[in-house]
Amino acid sequence: MNFFEHQDQARSSTGKLLLLFTAAIVTLIAVTSFVVATALAVVKTPTGSAVNAHGPLPLDILFGTATVIVSVVFLGALYRIAQLRSGGRVVAESMGGRLLSRHEPSIDESKVLNVVEEMALAAGLPVPPVYLIEDDAINAFAAGYRQQDAVIGITRGAIKLLSRDELQGVIAHEFSHIFNGDMRLNLKLIGWLHGLLLIGLLGSQLLRLRFMSRDRNQAATVFLAVGVAFTILGYTGVFFGNIIKSAVSRQREFLADASAVQFTRNPEGIGNALKKIGGYALGSRMLIHETSEISHMLFGEGLMRRGIGGMFATHPPIGERIRRIDPRWNGELINPEKERVIAYSSLPDEKLSGTSSARATNAEALAAVLVSAVGTASSQSLEFAQAHLAAVPEEIKQQLHTTLTASLLMYGVVIAQSQASVARAQLDLLQKQLPAAWFATLAQQLKLLMPLSRALDLTLVELAQPALKQLSKDQLSQFLHLITQLISIDGEVSLQEWSLSRLLRHYLDSGHGEPAKLTLDMCYEECRVLLSALAGAGNNDDDAAAAFAAACSNAQLPATTLLPTDIHALDAAIDKLIQLKPLQKPRLLKAMVVCVQHDGKLTAEELDLVRVVAALLDCPLPPLH
């Protein structure tokens, strides 16, 4: 199953999950409404009335009660989901997480930051912020509503007790959750369970108020009955909701384990991490109170309870997970304080990688290879990521980890892409708008940036994300406005300038994203705009027209007249194409590759352009050069 099928399956799983929750909520509402409405009817009907005992239940009371309960459940769920949609940072901070930075980190903290950076670059994702959770258990999680607002949380026990290879396996597992759409599913689970829980909490509060009251009349008795009904039925809903949550979570864990092995090409990494959890006294069980809410998002089982037959277990048993990775495992676990090297008997088949793409003999074959690489990573792409990181001067790496200097570096990247005359105008603009000390820092940065290969520009943008995401709303608005001013200072915006600016906006966007509901045929004009822009990049008019026609044919779209490149139209086209259903995107991506490869060459600039557009469509493509 490829990235797009996983995305589609995640959407399908979400639909089935919502159906199950809807059934639970409807049943809860129906029963609770009947009990509460009956109790209220008793209060409203005079004592001894025959209607009260045998007459029909007043519909106004029944519907009014149902409306109140529906409002409590849905508003509670939507409120919690809205909180979590602000990004994974909210989840990490609720766990007491501390954002890790490059300023005086410990050796263990540097180790995990390096691993996350390598993994993100190898996966074609923006580097997520990393939060340290002060807990001695071995555990981690990925949280966020979308790829660009994801964060990684990891416990003190994990970075202290796991080796670098084992951390790679754990982080690769969490990146799989990002790829496969599990984060959004996890946050919806938290939201709907919160809505169900509110009914139980409301019942508990009513009972507390009842027992604090000295009244013993009929109304007080009914008040007690309502409180009992809300409490019992509310927590019953939470009970069954947790069973559903745990069942969904267990299946996603097997997929993430397998993806981690394919990513790292090192089954010993994640396998030994799991064995350490099994052989460690604390295991993965965390002592933080908030663990209960996010237990299904963790790398390992975060709670002590598993329920009857493991009903409440959010993760499969450790032994079963290890055997899926190494079928010949002998059952031995690892004490983290006395490590042993365990040889593995099997290694998964090699996945398509950058070396495969080099062997492709034609545009369509290359397109198939690149599309198969979306949402995956390989040992080859990890090597490319490590090479890119090694090519970035250490002084620049340090400056990428503070908000101010990272912002200045992004201005520098724009200037480094420009012709000399345009660069002078850009510097004049910045000198007028930036404090003198900031401008002096930028001038020093440019001395380091100018000699670098422009192939590193995307790497610098991705590495800067944890720092840039700390900008306030006003600071972010000013930053993006100045980027726009810089790229449009000469009255023209090249595709390279547009791609850099648009990627920054995409990664730093705090919106909630658009629903995936469109087909490719519904977006023909937008496809035409995008493919025309790609065809016109680096081709003369005749070659561009031929490339455009070939791309339309590959995507099974009508080939009409090639359009001139229009950056504003391209922006609008991307806004709509983002809404494509997952299984519709491969056709477009293949057409894009056919378009830029039509002349028989695929330059680094063309490949980076394809990678940027793929990232804008939430289809992360790993580096292949």
| Active site positions, annotated | 174
Is the CB of residue 130 less than 8 Å from the CB of residue 98?
A: no
Residue in the structure block whose two tokens are 């012709």: 419
SS3 at position 523: helix
Q: How far apart are CA 1 and CA 504, in angstroms?
A: 30
Q: What is the length of the chain?
A: 625
Q: How far apart are the first and last CA of the chain?
A: 25
Amino acid at 475: Q
Q: How far apart are CA 252 and CA 535, in angstroms?
A: 40
Distance of CA 609 to CAs 465, 493, 605, 606, Å? 19, 14, 6, 5
Distance of CA 412 to CAs 395, 463, 476, Å? 14, 14, 17
Q: How far apart are CA 429 and CA 414, in angstroms?
A: 13
* Tokens matching residue 73: 């459940």
Residue in the structure block whose two tokens are 């993994």: 119
Q: How far apart are CA 570 and CA 347, in angstroms?
A: 44
Q: How far apart are CA 546 and CA 538, in angstroms?
A: 13
Residue 107: φ, ψ to 5°: -60, -45
Residue in the structure block whose two tokens are 């676990």: 333
- CA-based nearest residue to 284, from 306, 307, 259: 306
SS3 at position 207: helix
* Tokens matching residue 72: 């409590």
SS3 at position 137: coil
Tell me which H or E stretch contains 27.
helix 3-44
Neighbours of 331 (CB within 10 A): 9
Residue in the structure block whose two tokens are 């003369």: 540
Q: Alpha helix locations (H) across 392-540? A: 394-399, 403-416, 420-433, 436-449, 457-463, 465-468, 473-487, 495-508, 524-536
Residue 43 CB-density burial (10 A; 0-12 exposed, 13-18 middle, 19+ buried): middle
- CA-based nearest residue to 457, from 518, 401, 392: 392
* Tokens matching residue 285: 């069980």
